[in-house]
Amino acid sequence: MFELLRHTLRNQLLPQQLLSGGTAFLIANEFYKFRSFGLECLAFLVTWGVIDFIVDRVVRFFKGKRKP
């Protein structure tokens, strides 16, 4: 876990992960009421993955537009 965090900080991915992870946390906290920790945790991780995929595509799209 420490290596993952250190690698993330080194590559400047932390702001992107905070955005997608924070958004997924808010969605999961508000809408996921499965009465099962395992299911809620799994749904949170899937939500985080989907949101992270979307954020990554948006960031790549705008980075591609800026290059001459």
CA gyration radius for the chain? 15
Please write the tens of the pLDDT for every residue from 6-34: 776 666 677 888 889 999 999 999 999 99
Provide the pLDDT for residue 20. Answer: 92
DSSP code for 35 = S
3-class DSSP state for residue 9?
helix
The answer to whether the beta carbons of residues 32 and 56 sit under 8 Å apart is no
Report the alpha-carbon distance of residue 17 to residue 45 in Å, rounded.
12
Higher pLDDT among residues 2 and 28, named by residue:
28
Residue ranges of domains in the chain:
14-66
Provide the pLDDT for residue 50. Answer: 95
The number of residues in the chain equals 68
pTM across the whole model: 0.78
The answer to whether the beta carbons of residues 68 and 28 sit under 8 Å apart is no
Provide the pLDDT for residue 12. Answer: 64
